[in-house]
Structure 1
Amino acid sequence: TPQNGIRALAKLLLNYRKVHGLRTVESLIARWAPSNENDTRAYAAAVARELGVPPQAGLHLDQPTLAALVTAIIRHENGQQPYSAELIGNAVREVL
């Protein structure tokens, strides 16, 4: 379901922080969308812009920030946002 996929993305991002120590938009996106498959720099810049932070800014992955990060990634991947803020928020809350 969309909720399961969104929850999996949120959990993966949290694992990137916990296991690999990744804390910036730039480092998280580099792991999520490696440069051998993506324009990682442009991807990170787009996500950071949507979050209103520089790509190198450290993130505290609390519920609102993680939900915003997931939302930005989904928008970048799809070119649109097909899911409601409520659906994303509920999925993110399930992993925190």
Structure 2
Amino acid sequence: MGYWIWMIIVSLIAGIIFGPLARLVLPGKQNISLGWTILGGGIGAFIGGLIAYFLGVKDTPGPDWIQYLIQVVCAAIVIAIISARNGKAKTA
């Protein structure tokens, strides 16, 4: 149980890095705030961490570059969803 709580905390902190990285990967302009960027990055980092954990990527020695790549891709997907949802809310 402690591992999962630690993973949530680390994922939210990683959102500070992975959120803006994900926005750089996405084409066009995302109409979301810095808070949503960090939260989306944290959610994506958590989901990406889970995927890497279940794929066994996390058990490699040294920096887990594949895990980080998976987390950034997941963060980009989450931020794209948030951005699309915010765009629809503003046009409605």
TM-score by length of 2: 0.35
TM-score by length of 1: 0.34
Question: Which has a greater percent of helix?
Answer: 2
